[in-house]
Amino acid sequence: MQGTMLAFINGDVYTPTRIIAPGVVLVDGERILAVGRPEQVPIPEDARRLDAKGHIICPGLIDIHVHGGDGADCTDGTVEAVRTVARRHLRAGTTSFLPTTGSAPFPQMWRAFDAICEVMRRPGPGEARALGIHSEGNFFSVAQRGAHAAELLRMPDAAEREKLYSYVGYLARLTIAPEREGALEIIRYLSQRGVLISGGHSDALYEQVCVAMEAGMRHITHLWSGMSMLRRIGPKRHSGMVEAALVEEGLTTEIIADGYHLPTSLMKLAYRMKGAEKLCLVSDAMCASGLGPGEYEVCGLKAIVEEGGGVALTADRLAFAGSISTMQQCLQHVVQVVGLALREALEMCTLTPARILGRQSQVGQLAPGCYADILVLDRATLTPQIIMLGGEVVSG
């Protein structure tokens, strides 16, 4: 009878902070037991061997900003919707994610939170691991609303604020416009309780971003998308959230690397300013991810995916309404089009998002004690050949 151990062999291991070529990853149950060169990692005789066939062995991808897929949205407010999103993105190699809610009436927001909590408590088969709720909605600047309906954007009253606070322990991340009245109080309270506070959909001046950092804000949501940048106020030029994200050492940030939201030049700029340690990739995928062209709803607005299109647009075709990509497609784009080195690109969609969330001891790297969330990627196409989640092969 075969033992519980399993070994990935005959591939180049990207941990991702170093490359071991060739390398071995030894798995015991749901955790990684050892990583190293073949002569450093003895493989028990009864261990199952997974042959990488000369391809790349790396951690499972982590998406800390993803709304939907396969027709479902995490804001729908049902457990099945969250599970559908989790299944869609696991198929593409995302092994951990933050189910992300959008702007909605507060009762619907709470239903969506409750559904995500249920999936976190009782994960199902074939589902990416839900690391926590990402609330991206309501607490935004109307001027920087993007694809969020203006009538939904407001700060919470006292009762709604207390309800929001009740999700501490499940709430992993909150995106908020720090210049809104009452925002700093929310930032202080939640950041002190381990919630990642992220500035986004904001018209804040640089100085207001710095005040929010002092209150506990550490991250910036989808850089360049829905945020202030250099402007004139009277005769003077004032920088905004974009500039703060790029130059402030205390801020990490993310880019939607689907090939539509940002041109190559801006992705290169973000990488050169922040580096792989402080810049992660996100899909920001909406419900059309995995489906074809058609009309969809996003945050109270109609969104359109056109025939042959690779992104969702608002009804007037003047703005993006979310991506339809996966993290694997984002990885592929920054390597094959933007020209980033594979090791750094992998770090930006594995270890860096895990570190931003403070979860790097569990996910995001091939290291002893971490969950055995492991991919084998085709060396030429970067498509998953094998997907493992928690020690179980779910594809390949």
> How many whole angstroms separate alpha carbon 165 and alpha carbon 3?
45
Residues marked active site are found at 284
Closest residue by Cα to residue 87 from 395, 361, 339, 362: 395
End-to-end Cα, the chain, rounded Å: 22
Distance CA 264, CA 349 (A): 17
Under 8 Å between Cβ of 135 and 101: yes
